[in-house]
Structure 1
Amino acid sequence: MAAVYLKRKIDGYLAAWKYDPNRKPLIVKGPRQVGKTESILRFAEDSYKNVVYINFVEEPKYKLITEDGYKTDDIIRNISRMDPSKRFEPGETIIIFDELQEYPEIATSLKFFKMDGRFDIICCGSLLGIHYKRIESNSVGYKTDYEMTSLDFEEFLWAKGYDRTAIEDMLWHMETLKPFNQTEMKVFGNLFLDFCILGGMPAVLREYIQKGTFEGTLDIQKQLLEDYREDIRKYADGMDQTRILNVFEQIPVQLAKNNKKFQISKVAKGARFKDYRGCIEWLRDAGIIRICYCLNFPELPLKGNHGDTKYKIYFFDTGLFVALLDDEAQEDLRANKNLGVYKGALYENIVGEALSKCGYGLYYYKREDSTLEEDFFVRTQQSLMPVEVKAKRETAKSLRTLIESDKYPDIQYGLKFTAGNVGVSDNIYTLPYFCTFLLKTYLKRAEEHLPEQEYADGTP
């Protein structure tokens, strides 16, 4: 059976990039196996007469193509010597340098390819964040970056056959506060729970789409996790390998606690923050985790308004987070859709993942005396908006305090994600979890005229 191609958001980006007369060489970053190479090759084969694909892991001999220098003619000449079948027709050729992390020096050539202008260039690879200072210094001003992640819920819906009409209908419910009907809530709620369990890794979703069941998906997720562990062993230096792996394994355990702040002291016996500082950043730069920083105070601006020692850590893909849970929790979750002790952690990770995929930085707030705590904050052009994630239909005490108190002048409205329907009460807008991926679009549209309405048949 031919592999199903999963439509991705990068498809439209690549098409627009090709038709930009001022396009620069493109670097596509992202964690391993999120579909970078597949999407790029599909685009290249559909859009160019000649595709020159070079993979520095599979064919390390190509690291020699710069031995005569980084100018376009020197590189083309050396590629042709190694493989005379490769064709270089100006205006009709794209060159793809894959696994860039194995040979970041090739980024020096991007300046010359841009100045030459005869060939289009795309570079991609995993773990690029680890080497990115080097890549950036070699190509500054002569490349464009695109960060690719695993599929978000919108791309998951595309894979399930839903089109733009369904997405616009969701936005309409959010903007008008007209409740979803029971069928919509059940269908989208179940799809969203499936997405929470599966995550957005293409190999996992392809198995799910083709078989129509969860069969085999956990095995694929566990293999992906093992691949990530192997990457840590391969690319991390010395003692840091063990410490990075310790952090990696501890994330679901610490998210399951009531106090979800990541505590280095719990990672290993005698662990100290100063010993682990670089390990957290390594995982972040590799794209494997998202760090959610604790604000010094809930006010604008967000950047610079936080310390470096208080944070929560989320997996970049909730399906992989789920696959790290203990076997009993796995079985209960997949067979009975019972989230158990991990319920709050699961929903918080999925909302954090969705916010990150929307392009938001992740921030939370917890007052020193623990009397006020908020899960996330996003900013609009005009204000700061607290975002609460509720696994149960509870009152949002901290959210109300932030909105109503004169101490927080940047905050006028709040958002709450729950398993319930849309609604509004006391300037708190309630939305179903499955709408999280639309938050940035929703806030952008609502920026000038958030409706002043009373409660509307949803969970307040």
Structure 2
Amino acid sequence: MILKRKIYKKLLEWKKECQGKKALLIEGARRIGKSTICEEFGKSEYKSFLLIDFAKKDKEVEGYFEKYLNDLDTFFMLLQTHFGTKLTERNSLIIFDEVQMFPQARAAIKYLVADGRYDYIETGSLISIRENVKNIVIPSEERHINMYPLDFEEFAIALEEDLLVEYIKKCFEKREPLERSMHNQAMLLFHQYMLVGGMPMPVVTFIESKKDFTEADREKRDILKLYREDIMKIDAKYRSKVLAIYDQIPGFLSQHEKRVVFKKLQDGSYADQYEETFFWLSDSMISNECFLCNDPNVGLSLNETRSYVKCYMGDTGLLVSHAFDENELLEDEVYKQILAGKLQINEGMLYENAIAQMLVANGHKLYFYTHYNENKHRNDMEIDFIISNNSRLKYKMFPIEVKSGKQYKTTSLNNFREKYKERIGESYIIHPRNLIVKDGIICIPPYMTMNI
């Protein structure tokens, strides 16, 4: 089953705009479908393509890069012979898959692009990690794009809910609620997305098994095992810290504040000691980071405080499998309880993670805000997400509160809007109910997050 991915349009734009003058580097977590989309693109848009998988550690091919870059005629002849593929000038694509495993190939892009015979796409994760850029010059002849798990819209289309997606978009634009049965259908779809996630193999398995969550869960656990194996291979200096954060993501997200409390990881530890840890998790795209912004404005990154961080899983379906063991999922029928909206504990964690995932897929960097009241000795303002640079209202920021229950208070958001009213474009509450605009706040169901 071939999944329809939005990134395909970006590949077409790169091919048309660059005309072989720049390679394309696709960064993304393991198992999100980078190789599949590149192969599909090569088959459909070129006369021929050739994929070199550097994870296989083919010493013969690696030797070509080491010996023949000064003789590209021989280099290309050897590649064609080795892979049994004829290359055609200006109509063939060469894919460097998992290029971080062989940095010399990435360094060679400078010369290959200058040669101009073929187009090049590189895929990889951990592209910026120190070990993967050591002793190479990063080529300027690269265009970078990020690839994420399927977003909600892609998931819905995979489940043949194209018409529902279009209806949701129109209702959001008009600020109108969905017809009740359509809202219920969209909420069911969102819950399925939250539980299955957007990793391609679990999605395909879910569809082909006629929506069997258990079958999808097995695929997700295989991916989680792969991530753990990747962590075990990294530099021993920060391996244990990465593992500690990775293992405790569900625990931190299940707390009220949801941020990482470093002293709970190890007595006496503090944020600076985990700088490389978060860089690794972020660069691997296993997680989505959300930093505190202590003076929220349009330039949110200028005021971020990295000692306060929330760490979301890059895929909410993986978070479900990470948070519950297999027996717990089967015996307590957690999937059915969440689908029916009956699982109170941890549902807020899954909701907020899913919203974070959807915002990141839309190109937003994540920030949150808290304000400590000295007189009350507690936080009196907590905003789950703040985003900026919305295409419809530039130079404004947009506070977002996530509510997994139907009954909630808006005190924090009201206070925040009053304090920063000159800086705010639109304010959102994301809740399980249908769309309603109340007191200047746009309250939307979670499936409409794809429109923000």
Q: TM-score, normalised by structure 2?
A: 0.90
Q: Which runs of 5+ in 2 are unaligned?
A: 374-378
Q: Is 1:15 paired with 2:15?
A: no
2: CA distance, partners of 1:311 / 1:106: 35
Alignment-mate amino acid for residue 395 of structure 1: K
What is the CA distance between 1:332 and its match in structure 2? Answer: 4.0
What is residue 347 of structure 2 aligned with on the other side? 343
Once the two structures are superposed, the pairs formed by residues 251-266 of structure 1 within 5 Å of their partners are 251-266=249-264
- Change in CA separation of 1:382 and 1:64 when aligned onto 2, cut-off 3 Å: same
Q: Is 1:374 paired with 2:383?
A: yes
- Change in CA separation of 1:211 and 1:119 when aligned onto 2, cut-off 3 Å: same
2: CA distance, partners of 1:136 / 1:412: 46
Once the two structures are superposed, the pairs formed by residues 33-432 of structure 1 within 5 Å of their partners are 33-61=31-59, 62-68=61-67, 70-71=69-70, 72-73=72-73, 75-80=75-80, 83=82, 85-130=84-129, 134=133, 138-163=137-162, 165-212=163-210, 213-234=212-233, 236-269=234-267, 271-327=269-325, 330=329, 331-337=332-338, 338-369=342-373, 370-379=379-388, 380=390, 381-392=394-405, 393-405=407-419, 407-432=420-445
What is the CA distance between 1:114 and its match in structure 2? Answer: 2.0
What is the CA distance between 1:177 and its match in structure 2? Answer: 2.0
The answer to whether the 8 A contact 1:283-1:289 is kept is yes
What is the CA distance between 1:135 and its match in structure 2? Answer: 8.7
Q: Secondary structure at the match of 1:63?
A: helix
Deviation sequence 1:256-285 (CA, Å, 0-9, x none): 011212112112455443432211221111
The answer to whether the 8 A contact 1:30-1:287 is kept is yes
RMSD of aligned Cα (Å): 2.1
What is the CA distance between 1:99 and its match in structure 2? Answer: 1.4
2: CA distance, partners of 1:102 / 1:133: 7
What is the CA distance between 1:15 and its match in structure 2? Answer: 2.5
- Which deviates more, 239-248 or 29-38? 239-248
The answer to whether the 8 A contact 2:101-2:132 is kept is no
What is residue 454 of structure 1 aligned with on the other side? none
The answer to whether the 8 A contact 1:352-1:362 is kept is yes
The answer to whether the 8 A contact 1:29-1:128 is kept is yes
- Change in CA separation of 1:412 and 1:102 when aligned onto 2, cut-off 3 Å: closer
- Change in CA separation of 1:94 and 1:334 when aligned onto 2, cut-off 3 Å: same
Alignment-mate amino acid for residue 372 of structure 1: M
What is the CA distance between 1:21 and its match in structure 2? Answer: 5.1
What is the CA distance between 1:402 and its match in structure 2? Answer: 1.8
What is the CA distance between 1:437 and its match in structure 2? Answer: 1.4
2: CA distance, partners of 1:298 / 1:193: 31
2: CA distance, partners of 1:175 / 1:53: 42
Aligned pairs, number: 432
Alignment-mate amino acid for residue 267 of structure 1: L
The answer to whether the 8 A contact 2:107-2:137 is kept is yes
Deviation sequence 1:276-316 (CA, Å, 0-9, x none): 22112211111111110001122232112111201111010
What is residue 376 of structure 2 aligned with on the other side? none
Q: Secondary structure at the match of 1:339?
A: coil
2: CA distance, partners of 1:404 / 1:44: 53
- Change in CA separation of 1:412 and 1:51 when aligned onto 2, cut-off 3 Å: closer
What is residue 453 of structure 1 aligned with on the other side? none
What is residue 443 of structure 1 aligned with on the other side? none
What is the CA distance between 1:416 and its match in structure 2? Answer: 0.7
2: CA distance, partners of 1:375 / 1:351: 10
Q: TM-score, normalised by structure 1?
A: 0.89
2: CA distance, partners of 1:382 / 1:123: 34
What is the CA distance between 1:39 and its match in structure 2? Answer: 0.9
Q: Secondary structure at the match of 1:436?
A: helix
2: CA distance, partners of 1:415 / 1:335: 29
- Which deviates more, 14-23 or 167-176? 14-23
- Change in CA separation of 1:238 and 1:366 when aligned onto 2, cut-off 3 Å: same
What is the CA distance between 1:412 and its match in structure 2? Answer: 5.0
2: CA distance, partners of 1:189 / 1:14: 32
1: CA distance, partners of 2:208 / 2:400: 36
Alignment-mate amino acid for residue 448 of structure 2: C
